[in-house]
Chains A and B, each alone.
Chain A
Amino acid sequence: MATAAAHIDAHAHDDHDHEHHETFITKYIFSIDHKTIAKQFLITGILWAVIGAAMSAIFRLQLGFPTSSMEWLRPLLGRWIGADGALDPNFYLALVTMHGTIMVFFVLTAGLSGTFSNFLIPLQIGARDMASGFMNMLSYWFFFLSSVIMFTSLFIETGPASGGWVVYPPLSALPQAMPGSGLGMTLWLVAMVFFIVSSLLGGINYITTIINLRTKGMTFSRLPLTIWAFFLTAVIGVLSFPVLFAAALLLVFDRSFGTSFYLSEIYIGGEALPNVGGSPILYQHLFWFLGHPEVYIVLLPALGITSEIIATNSRKPIFGYKAMIISMLGITVLSFVVWAHHMFVSGLSPFLGSIFMFLTLIIAIPSAVKVFNYLTTLWKGNIIFTPAMLFSIGLVSVFISGGITGIFLGNSAIDIQLHDTYFVVAHFHLVMGAASSFGLLAGVYHWFPKMFGRMLDRKLGYIHFWLTFVGLYAVFFPMHYIGIAGFPRRYYSFTGFDAFSGFTDLNMFISIAAILTFFGQFIFLFNFFYSIFRGRKATANPWNSNTLEWTTPINPGHGNWPGEIPTVYRWPYDYSKPGAEEDFIPQTVPFSETLDSNLPHENDLVKIEKQERAREVVVDETTSH
């Protein structure tokens, strides 16, 4: 390994790229540099986010203005607009299904983990690249393939998968049940299989890299919380995605090969199907065995990113570093034993329901600890509101708002009424959707200088944040009321029921807020793409941060550090340490250089540092002759 690292060293930092035969294709397309792959994930994720959000804007039009004509969307949607100018109900379902699939998997899993795990793991642990650059490249290209297939499915005649993002059979298994369950569903399954492959290739790589390639001195207790979060996220993904694969595979069998894993006693389209003995509940168990950990797959990286940004911009150490890690470990373990709380009223045994209720509410405790730790980190800080910091504070807010409603839904007795209503929609959009997107956006604002060597425009960032923050609350907070009133989700129209005939004004308000928030995101898009080329040049450490990535050159080449990889001497949160000259001490500064600010136990480390260095010198001398 050492020789390989040295080898990269010698080449990567020659001034001209062509000297080591990098063509456009190997540098920007089939690249094995983790930084390029991260950017590929990011940009693909952003494109998907625009598509996913645009879909939500269209179905919000339907929900907010059910009687107005959608004729003007015909150039875009074609025959999905009926002769009377109304949106086709099947297409409405396709929209909510694809919105969910795209946002959960393609944006918040691939776009978030794919971007920041790839980008930050080697940079923050002090590695030249991922353990396997080639697998990493495959990970992106499998994701790309999956994206292409999913995207294609939007344009086929019978429409994309439409049975909700959870694609419960028998609806998703029987093409005669709805048009979206035909070819669209097949493409969905194929795309998801490639997606799972991509996730696993990435996840295994993240885990391996973090365990094996940490630089000298970078012990697990000195890892930034971002890395802890990415590590645990990858562990969750590696353990749970194969189960989704199994679920999808059995569904493929049921759809195409006449098996009866999920199908039983079905009479549809005027005929009784031969399938008996299967159980739709089996699918739900398998799906949610991934589906629930998936929530933490999208959330943990956001929490990790936020921890880092809040500490940096509060100029304070993160409060309760160990408690944060233990909380995340707790969340990781518990995330595997709470899945059936999505199934309280599915016909699940009530006894199992009780067990899952207990387990589910336990997971609220580590989440609460995290919130309190964030709040205490802000307390007596010296807070700099960079756009990244604003999004991180926003994340804490939406995480609280969305998290506490989980206490209702995790309680099976209360869930009877709230299950599959807009209360659930409000809950998970805040705690999972908004929180994770805020984490993603915070990460982009914070690490943009490292990614592209330029700064994003700060003022546009402020405008973007306030629009998004206010906008998201305007969209999702009112949904709680609608949910308490019992409005079911995935309804094309509410006019058929007296019980759901109210709140037309509130639904209109939500739709307007959603569409404005959607357009607000174009401020970010402009800022992002403009700043890649025309942004202000970044300095080496624009946020005065402690972590290793800021010790690289402003535009790091492949291999990240010219010359030796820096050694780490301390944890990443020595901000505003009493006695220190600056209000930050990077991880690379040895304790022997900060005698004024060392804590008692750290002075003991000074001796060890000296011994280590003495030994190194000896080794160097013996090898060089």
Chain B
Amino acid sequence: MFGFYIVLAIFLILAILLLIFRVSRLVNVVKGSEEKVSSGSNNINAVLMILFMVSFFGLMAWYSWTNFDAYDPPVASEHGIVTDRLFWRTMWITFIVFVLTHILLFIFAFKYRYKANRRADFFPHNNNLEIIWTVVPAIVLTWLVISGWMAWSDITKAAPDESEQIEIMGYQFAWSLRYGGMDNEVGDYDYRLIDAVNSHGQDFSDRAGFDDFQNQNLVIPKGRPVLLKIRARDVLHSVFIPHMRLKMDAVPGMPTQFWFVANKTTEEMRVEEGNPDFDYELACTEVCGRGHFSMKKTVIVLEQAEYDKWKAEQKSWLSKNPDYMSQVPENLKELAVVTAGINE
């Protein structure tokens, strides 16, 4: 019954609208206002332009001001400070251009609305004007590009040797982490070796992998470079840590990487944000299927000392899964037992 009333209401509203339309058309025909080049509605549209501009700017200013903290996530990495500075510099420049051009657009539209006794200016071109507004944007853009390029070169240069190496692998629909262990080197892998337990396909003929360990959360030290060695097992994924201003695709068959320095521990950020439950998060930003929106990892930033302590406590993957000792070549077995810390 309710549905019927809705349909009836819609039908009646449409009928009324149609009636209004017909009546106003007939009125227009009688008045002959449709025949004129420009009727009174020309002025209404001109005024609406100004009204639109004022309310648009007003709403934008109000929202940008009052909600600043909501849309500006705090930054927690060293390169993030640089890219944020670039972002806001670009914002100010483009904001000025945005406001100026819109003021001109709407003011011109209003001011030069049709008047029967006026004639438009015949002004087909002016070389000076055209040169100015080609050259000025070119200079400003050059400045923006060069500062962006310098930042980009810094961010993408080779990771420092002392970087903490962590492999992060995306798969449908989660992330999996593997730490370099005591030698700080993540061992080789081969995707053909992947099975239900050995999810990274770790290749046990590589001695660098014996001490590798896995962990649920991405734990990293503050103030020390961290090199994420990024890979994907099935389809494209993308590592995104919003607070670190970090993003890099995970590509099956083509390892990628991103190194960065976190500069605020989780504790510090909790205090700064006044939110005791705050945690850094890692998300996926390349569509990867049904569970794309749920690929979350918690990121925990510790002071260096805490981190060292935590790392020393971790048990190697091989020691937790001693069955895989059988994949270790004979000549490395002894080494594997020692470096993996297997108690026999």
A interface residue numbers (CB < 8 A to B):
89-90, 93, 163-164, 168, 170-171, 174, 177-178, 263-268, 270, 272, 276-281, 314-323, 345-347, 350, 353-354, 357-358, 361-362, 364-365, 368-369, 371-376, 378-385, 390, 393, 396-397, 400-401, 404-405, 407-408, 411-414, 416-417, 419-421, 455, 457-460, 462, 466, 469-470, 473, 477-478, 481-482, 484-486, 488-494, 496-500, 502-503, 536, 544, 573, 575-578, 583
- B102, B119, B234: the one contacting A397 at CB < 8 Å is B102
**116-134 of chain B: CB within 8 A of chain A:** 118-126, 129-130, 133-134
Once A171-B235, A267-B194, A347-B254 are accepted as A-B contacts, the answer to whether A413 and B151 lie under 8 Å apart by CB is yes
Q: Judging by beta carbons under 8 Å apart, are A485 and B70 in contact?
A: yes
Q: Kindly provide the distance from the CB of B55 to the nearest chain A CB, expressed in whole angstroms.
A: 9
Q: Judging by beta carbons under 8 Å apart, are A361 and B141 in contact?
A: yes
Q: Judging by beta carbons under 8 Å apart, are B41 and A458 in contact?
A: yes
Q: Which residues of B contact A316 (CB under 8 A)?
A: 120-123
Q: Give CA–CA (A382, B246) in the complex, Å.
A: 51
B206 at the interface (CB under 8 A from A): no
Q: Judging by beta carbons under 8 Å apart, are B283 and A499 in contact?
A: yes
Q: Judging by beta carbons under 8 Å apart, are B109 and A378 in contact?
A: yes
Given contacts A93-B290, A354-B152, 16 further A-B contacts (CB under 8 A): A168-B236, A264-B253, A264-B254, A272-B191, A281-B251, A314-B120, A347-B256, A354-B149, A364-B141, A369-B134, A375-B101, A378-B108, A413-B152, A417-B245, A488-B240, A575-B122
- A365, A405, A493, A536: the one contacting B141 at CB < 8 Å is A365
Chain B residues within 8 Å of chain A by Cβ, number: 112
Q: Judging by beta carbons under 8 Å apart, are A357 and B118 in contact?
A: no
Q: Kindly provide the distance from the CB of B25 to the nearest chain A CB, expressed in whole angstroms.
A: 7
B321 at the interface (CB under 8 A from A): no
Q: Kindly provide the distance from the CB of B261 to the nearest chain A CB, expressed in whole angstroms.
A: 15
Q: Judging by beta carbons under 8 Å apart, are A279 and B254 in contact?
A: yes
Q: Which residues of B contact A390 (CB under 8 A)?
A: 45
Q: List 14 A-B contacts (CB under 8 A).
A: A170-B236, A267-B191, A346-B251, A369-B130, A381-B121, A382-B115, A407-B141, A407-B144, A411-B148, A417-B80, A481-B70, A488-B240, A492-B293, A544-B37
Q: Which residues of B contact A321 (CB under 8 A)?
A: 124-125
Q: Give CA–CA (A491, B289) in the complex, Å.
A: 10
Q: Give CA–CA (A93, B294) in the complex, Å.
A: 14
Q: Chain A: which residue is nearest B72 at the CB level?
A: A484
Q: Judging by beta carbons under 8 Å apart, are A90 and B290 in contact?
A: yes
Q: Give CA–CA (A146, B132) in the complex, Å.
A: 47
Q: Judging by beta carbons under 8 Å apart, are A496 and B296 in contact?
A: yes
B303 at the interface (CB under 8 A from A): no
Q: Judging by beta carbons under 8 Å apart, are A393 and B109 in contact?
A: yes
B67 at the interface (CB under 8 A from A): yes
B201 at the interface (CB under 8 A from A): yes
Q: Kindly provide the distance from the CB of B87 to the nearest chain A CB, expressed in whole angstroms.
A: 5
Q: How many A-B residue pairs lie within 8 Å, measured between CB atoms? A: 339
Q: Judging by beta carbons under 8 Å apart, are B102 and A400 in contact?
A: yes
Chain B CB within 10 Å — which of A321, A368, A416 has the most? A416
Q: Kindly provide the distance from the CB of B1 to the nearest chain A CB, expressed in whole angstroms.
A: 15
Q: Kindly provide the distance from the CB of A408 to the nearest chain B CB, expressed in whole angstroms.
A: 5
Q: Chain B: which residue is nearest A382 at the CB level?
A: B120
Q: Judging by beta carbons under 8 Å apart, are A384 and B38 in contact?
A: yes
Q: Judging by beta carbons under 8 Å apart, are B125 and A381 in contact?
A: no
Q: Kindly provide the distance from the CB of B20 to the nearest chain A CB, expressed in whole angstroms.
A: 10
Chain B, 228-272, contact with A by CB distance < 8 Å: what is the 0/1 string? 000001111010101101111101111010000000000000000
Q: Judging by beta carbons under 8 Å apart, are B236 and A280 in contact?
A: yes
Q: Chain B: which residue is nearest A93 at the CB level?
A: B287
Once A380-B112, A385-B41 are accepted as A-B contacts, the answer to whether A413 and B148 lie under 8 Å apart by CB is yes
Chain B, 205-225, contact with A by CB distance < 8 Å: what is the 0/1 string? 000000000000000000000
Q: Kindly provide the distance from the CB of B51 to the nearest chain A CB, expressed in whole angstroms.
A: 10
Q: Judging by beta carbons under 8 Å apart, are B94 and A379 in contact?
A: no
B286 at the interface (CB under 8 A from A): yes
- B24, B94, B281: the one contacting A497 at CB < 8 Å is B281
Q: Kindly provide the distance from the CB of A151 to the nearest chain B CB, expressed in whole angstroms.
A: 23
B292 at the interface (CB under 8 A from A): yes
Q: Which residues of B contact A358 (CB under 8 A)?
A: 145, 149
Q: Give CA–CA (A407, B121) in the complex, Å.
A: 34
Q: Judging by beta carbons under 8 Å apart, are B122 and A414 in contact?
A: no
Q: Give CA–CA (A316, B192) in the complex, Å.
A: 69
Once A372-B133, A381-B120 are accepted as A-B contacts, the answer to whether A488 and B235 lie under 8 Å apart by CB is no
Once A276-B253, A345-B249, A419-B247 are accepted as A-B contacts, the answer to whether A414 and B86 lie under 8 Å apart by CB is yes
- A385, A489, A497: the one contacting B42 at CB < 8 Å is A385
